[in-house]
Amino acid sequence: MKNILITGGAGFIGYFLAKKLSEKYNVDIVDDFSRGKKDSEFLKLIKDKKIKFYNKNLLEKLTIRKKYVFIFHLAAIVGVKNVMGQPDKVLMNNVILLRNAINFAKKQSSLKKFFFFSTSEVYAGSIKNRLIKFPTPENQLICLPPLFEKRSTYLLSKIYGESICIHSGLPYVIVRPHNIFGPRMGMSHVIPEMAIRALSTSKVFKVYNSKHKRTFCYIDDFIDAISLLMKKKQSTNCIYNIGNPDEEISILKLSKKILKFYKKSKKIDEINIDNSSPSKRVPDITMIKKHTSFDPKISFGEGLRRTLLWYKKETL
């Protein structure tokens, strides 16, 4: 059985990716839990004989004496609070993490593909300057946001990372995830944050930037997309949006759905904050559908139901 490596594998996407790919591969996970979580689900996952966990800090040189056919680089400083609190570290450390992963990948004689997980945030400057169209294709003109904005450091580190991969000489695949959601996604994303506020004892339900709009892609569909890209030779040295462009929803409407699901009656307090968050995100997934058979199967309603049930179980 061939080996694959996932950096940042204790995080949301890494966990589900390891769980899926362990059906056909030996999976090695590298993480230091600076972001990922050593919860009961992760501990159960690494009991699988086909999964091996390495508690390593990827800011240091990576040394594992194995041959890998696929490497998935997910390790990064993410999350709005981290970005706003440590913008300089976001820029520096995300580049160092990628550099060490690429240096390790270059030593792999059997490597088929190096997957770099970028972000839909790369389009934020274009959205702000009204230079973008929706749904947004991968060849959209990338316009940088003002460099003094702390939040821009994350997307800058990812844009720079994309360029590093392109010029690395590795057989790369760059993916730009668009609002991937599901169970065990942490507490710092819009859906879990709303779930926690809805389940709290507070009679007021705060909704931030209520007019912003998003489309969401359930984690199972996202992992299926990655699996398909692994198999297709045509995907090598390409950039892909991955998301679900259907069922666009405003943050306000989303908040009402969550309150209704939990059968909570609260006063909604709409608060607009300037945190440089894009006002709209809708991916054009024509490219990945052209190169693979990818077609999101799980509706937003069903994905939201599964996610909210999990957070209710975890919270209460």
Within a domain: 115: yes
Structure-token match 């490597």, residue found: 111
Q: How many other C-beta atoms are found inside a 10 Å radius of the C-beta of residue 231?
A: 10
Within a domain: 258: no
Within a domain: 193: no
Whole domain around residue 158: which residue ranges?
A: 3-185+216-247+282-298
Within a domain: 202: no
Within a domain: 201: no
- Report the alpha-carbon distance of residue 130 to residue 315 in Å, rounded: 40
pLDDT < 50: residue spans in the chain: none
Number of structural domains found in the chain: 1
Within a domain: 309: no
Within a domain: 265: no
Q: What is the CATH number of the domain that holds 290?
A: 3.40.50.720
DSSP class per residue in the chain: --EEEEETTTSHHHHHHHHHHTTTSEEEEEE-SSSS---HHHHHHTTSTTEEEEE--TTS--------SEEEE-----SHHHHHH-HHHHHHHHHHHHHHHHHHHTT-TT--EEEEE--GGGGHHHHHTT---SSBPTTPPP-PPPTT-TTHHHHHHHHHHHHHHHTSSS-EEEEEE-SEE-TT--SSSHHHHHHHHHHSS-SEEEEESTT-EE--EEHHHHHHHHHHHHH-GGGTTEEEEES--SS-EEHHHHHHHHHHHTT---EEEEE---S---SEE-B--HHHHHHS-----S-HHHHHHHHHHHHHHHH-
The structure's pTM equals 0.96
Which phi and psi (to 5°) does residue 53 adopt? -105, 135
- Report the alpha-carbon distance of residue 76 to residue 58 in Å, rounded: 9
Residue 110 CB contacts under 8 Å (≥ 6 apart), including other chains: 67, 68, 69
| Cα-trace Rg, the chain | 19
**What pLDDT, on a 0 to 100 scale, did the predictor assign at position 277?**
81
**What pLDDT, on a 0 to 100 scale, did the predictor assign at position 316?**
64
Q: Which two tokens stand for residue 68?
A: 């890998």
Residue 49 CB contacts under 8 Å (≥ 6 apart), including other chains: none
32 within 8 A of 55, measured Cβ to Cβ: yes
**What pLDDT, on a 0 to 100 scale, did the predictor assign at position 275?**
67
- Residue 280 CA, distance from chain mean position: 17
Within a domain: 181: yes
In the beta sheet, which residues pair with residue 28?
A: 5, 52
